[in-house]
């Protein structure tokens, strides 16, 4: 689920894969403060990205800096049989520790900062480290820069990131830090990180990223990722790429959490993420979902993930015996029916196996001679009910293209539900101005998450990709709570359906009422957009449900 470690203040995640386990090097917000209060750093470990264990706590009093309450962002790297851990002493300087283990404990490697305000260029604080090791095994230190007045001619505001090559000892610079030229930076703030994909260098900060064909730059602004409001990183594991981000867990922006989602690269180099996975988390699935996208796999072998002609992503370039792994598929019915949306030039077979690529065969499905045209094909499994570890194994599938699959589970409600937190929501941006609404935890909500703070003028929530089925009329059921009577305007695919009235449901410990809204008109397929804009009031939204049968 997201957040991956709720209610602990674990944020600014930097995740590395060491010894086939995910280690997260994170900062730690203490609760109950009206500013950032961070008195230690934490190291968490997971072997499935769902269950996390606290493996180590690094305390500033064990380092040259002594006790502080501004333990800012951190990162780690492996080299020469040792693990190196880099930490930010507020906005002042960067230190480094060394250990024989990825989870520490680390020892102060220098007894002094690696870089500080006295490191060239002098007079500029260096903060929030990232260590990037290039394909040729060259290590680099990347950091943010706090620019005092008078340095604008040296470091334009859009170029407030620095880079230097590290020596092989990983605790000294091989060259002076230099500024990274950044063209068209729309939000010059926050911790920078660099990763590489298909020969392209990506410099990311907060929700923004730029690209270059050289690690030193110049970098050109490329896009915006609506995946979190704060520090994060990108990493790959089992042939899947992930975006790790963080942002406020509630109304207090100084108490944050960490989020994980799959990310994908378009042919033009742009990065895309999945809204549903951002809400529900990686490494787990629900057979009740309308569809499960093929690119949401946790692990794969002998397959390629590519942008599809419809603007989404598909699986193709499949070798015989290649597979996709989907662990923790919840609520699978006994003898479940599966459907695949796929295309193939020849007679390809998709085997559905349990627990391992060569595990028990639950069923198989053929895709034959469809050419470029996608079609839905189905089969019935031989399985018990419950949570399953599903492998899709491909045979004779060189020309197969797979878009998505479904378990055709029919929940009793016969509704398609879109939780309010699963949508194209406006994020919170530190230092670049706050935007409402926010995702907020509430134990009374259906999925523990609500869209809150909808009491600001112009606040809105948008849900994209709503499945309209065959199109036509449908009802809309909205679960909400509100201390006072509230009024919002409903738009479907840009067309106004008039005001929505929400009676008061009581005090802050309110129940969630369901209100059926007037019949609306949906387009066929998953191209529909629902948008609600505040007129007055202060409702909080739990879930939106499209009623397939308006008589219900």
pLDDT in tens, 510-549: 444 555 455 677 777 767 777 777 787 778 777 777 665 4
User: Residue 440: pLDDT above 70?
Assistant: no
Query: What tokens does 450 get?
Result: 């609500």
User: Residue 183: pLDDT above 60?
Assistant: yes
Q: Do domains 10-280 and 415-547 have the same CATH topology?
A: no
Reported pTM: 0.77
Is the sign of the CA dihedral 294, 300, 304, 305 positive or negative?
A: positive
- The three-class DSSP label of residue 458 is coil
Q: Which CATH class is domain 10-280?
A: mainly beta
Least confident of 177-191, 212-226, 419-433, 443-457: 419-433
User: Residue 435: pLDDT above 70?
Assistant: no
Mean pLDDT of 239-261: 89
Please tell me the predicted confidence (pLDDT) of residue 231. Answer: 84
pLDDT in tens, 16-38: 999 999 999 999 999 999 899 99
More confident residue, 92 or 512: 92
Mean pLDDT of 259-283: 89
Rounded Cα distance, 407 and 477, in Å: 24
Q: Domain locations in the chain? A: 10-280, 285-406, 415-547
Mean pLDDT of 474-482: 76
User: Residue 58: pLDDT above 70?
Assistant: yes
Please tell me the predicted confidence (pLDDT) of residue 157. Answer: 65
User: Residue 341: pLDDT above 80?
Assistant: yes
Mean pLDDT of 497-501: 77
2.60.40.10, 3.90.226.10, 2.60.120.20, 2.60.120.260: CATH of 415-547: 2.60.120.260
Please tell me the predicted confidence (pLDDT) of residue 540. Answer: 79
- Looking at every residue in the chain, the average pLDDT score rounds to 85
Percent of the chain with pLDDT over 70: 83
Please tell me the predicted confidence (pLDDT) of residue 488. Answer: 82
Fold of the domain spanning 285-406: Jelly Rolls (2.60.120)
User: Residue 5: pLDDT above 80?
Assistant: yes
Please tell me the predicted confidence (pLDDT) of residue 519. Answer: 63
- Residue 2's pLDDT band (boundaries 50, 70, 90)? confident
CB contact at 8 A, 451 and 437: yes
The backbone region for 389, taken as left when phi is positive above 0, alpha when psi lies in -120 to 50, beta otherwise, is: beta
- Other C-beta atoms closer than 10 Å to the C-beta of 49 total 22
User: Residue 127: pLDDT above 70?
Assistant: yes
Query: What tokens does 87 get?
Result: 């930490």
Please tell me the predicted confidence (pLDDT) of residue 431. Answer: 27
CA 23 to chain centre: 16
Cα–Cα separations (whole angstroms), residue 88 to 74, 99, 104: 6, 18, 17
Please tell me the predicted confidence (pLDDT) of residue 444. Answer: 62
Mean pLDDT of 102-108: 97
User: Residue 423: pLDDT above 80?
Assistant: no
Mean pLDDT of 54-64: 98
More confident residue, 510 or 465: 465
Least confident of 254-258, 279-283, 520-524: 520-524
Mean pLDDT of 384-389: 94
Query: What tokens does 523 get?
Result: 């387009």
More confident residue, 464 or 489: 489
Please tell me the predicted confidence (pLDDT) of residue 155. Answer: 64
Least confident of 42-46, 282-286, 518-522, 546-550: 546-550
Rounded Cα distance, 273 and 281, in Å: 12
Least confident of 18-32, 62-76, 262-276: 262-276
User: Residue 508: pLDDT above 70?
Assistant: no
Q: Which of 151-155, 254-258, 488-492, 494-498 has the highest mean pLDDT?
A: 254-258
Element (H, E) at 145: strand 139-146
User: Residue 432: pLDDT above 90?
Assistant: no
The conformation of residue 278, written as its DSSP 8-state character, comes to H
Please tell me the predicted confidence (pLDDT) of residue 148. Answer: 57
Please tell me the predicted confidence (pLDDT) of residue 24. Answer: 98
Please tell me the predicted confidence (pLDDT) of residue 535. Answer: 81
**Angle at the Cα of 511 from the Cα atoms of 510 and 515, rounded to 5 degrees:** 120
- Residue 109's pLDDT band (boundaries 50, 70, 90)? very high
Q: Which of 170-179, 407-416, 429-438 has the highest mean pLDDT?
A: 170-179
Q: What is the C-alpha end-to-end distance of the chain, expressed in Å? A: 31
pLDDT in tens, 191-238: 899 999 999 999 999 889 999 999 999 999 999 887 877 888 999 999
**Angle at the Cα of 512 from the Cα atoms of 51 and 283, rounded to 5 degrees:** 20
Please tell me the predicted confidence (pLDDT) of residue 191. Answer: 83
Please tell me the predicted confidence (pLDDT) of residue 146. Answer: 65
Query: What tokens does 346 get?
Result: 């020849």
């Amino acid at each position: 689920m997201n957040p991956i470690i709720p209610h602990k203040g674990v944020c600014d995640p930097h995740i590395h894969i060491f010894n086939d386990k995910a280690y997260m090097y994170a900062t730690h917000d203490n609760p109950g403060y009206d500013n950032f209060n961070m008195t230690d750093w934490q190291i968490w470990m997971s072997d499935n990205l769902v269950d996390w264990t606290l493996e180590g706590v690094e305390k500033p009093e064990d380092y040259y800096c002594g006790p502080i309450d501004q333990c800012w962002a951190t990162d780690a790297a492996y080299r020469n049989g040792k693990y190196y851990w880099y930490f930010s002493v507020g906005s002042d300087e960067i230190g480094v520790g060394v250990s024989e283990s990825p989870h520490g404990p680390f020892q102060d490697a220098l007894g002094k900062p690696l870089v500080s305000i006295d490191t060239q260029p002098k007079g500029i604080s260096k903060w929030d480290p990232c260590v990037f090791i290039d394909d040729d095994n060259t290590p680099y230190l990347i950091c943010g820069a706090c620019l005092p007045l008078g340095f604008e001619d040296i470091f334009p505001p859009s170029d407030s990131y620095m880079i230097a090559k590290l020596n092989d000892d990983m605790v000294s610079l091989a060259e002076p830090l230099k500024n990274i030229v950044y063209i068209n930076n729309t939000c010059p703030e926050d911790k920078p990180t660099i990763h590489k994909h298909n020969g392209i260098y990506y410099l990311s900060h907060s929700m923004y990223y730029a690209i270059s064909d050289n690690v030193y730059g110049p970098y050109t602004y490329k896009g915006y990722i609506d995946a979190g409001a704060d520090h994060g990183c990108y990493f790959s594991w089992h042939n899947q790429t992930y975006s790790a981000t963080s942002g406020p867990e509630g109304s207090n922006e100084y108490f944050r959490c960490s989020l994980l989602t799959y990310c994908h690269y378009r042919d033009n180099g742009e990065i895309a993420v999945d809204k549903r996975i951002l809400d529900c988390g990686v490494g787990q699935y629900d057979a009740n979902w309308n569809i499960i996208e093929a690119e949401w796999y946790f692990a794969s072998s002998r397959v390629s993930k590519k942008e599809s002609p419809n603007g989404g992503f598909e699986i193709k370039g499949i070798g015989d015996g290649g597979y996709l792994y989907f662990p923790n598929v919840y609520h699978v019915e006994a003898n479940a029916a599966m459907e695949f949306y796929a295309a193939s030039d020849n007679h390809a077979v998709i085997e559905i196996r349990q627990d391992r690529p060569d595990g028990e065969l639950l069923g198989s499905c053929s895709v034959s001679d469809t050419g470029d045209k996608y079609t839905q094909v189905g089969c019935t499994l031989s399985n018990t009910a419950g949570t399953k570890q599903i492998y899709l194994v491909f045979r004779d599938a060189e020309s197969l293209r797979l878009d998505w699959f479904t378990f055709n589970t029919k929940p009793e409600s016969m509704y398609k539900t879109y939780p309010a937190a699963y949508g194209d929501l406006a994020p919170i941006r530190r230092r670049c101005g706050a935007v409402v609404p926010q995702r907020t935890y509430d134990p009374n909500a259906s999925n523990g998450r609500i869209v809150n703070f909808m009491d600001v003028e112009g606040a809105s929530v948008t849900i994209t990709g709503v499945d309209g089925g065959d199109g036509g009329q449908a009802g809309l059921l909205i679960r909400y709570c509100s201390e006072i009577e509230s009024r919002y305007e409903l738009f479907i695919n840009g067309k106004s359906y008039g005001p929505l009235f929400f009676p008061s449901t009581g005090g802050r410990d309110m129940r969630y009422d369901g209100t059926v809204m007037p019949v609306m008109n949906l387009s066929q397929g998953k191209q529909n957009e629902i948008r609600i804009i505040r007129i007055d009031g202060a409702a909080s939204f739990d879930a939106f449900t499209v009623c397939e049968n308006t008589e219900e």
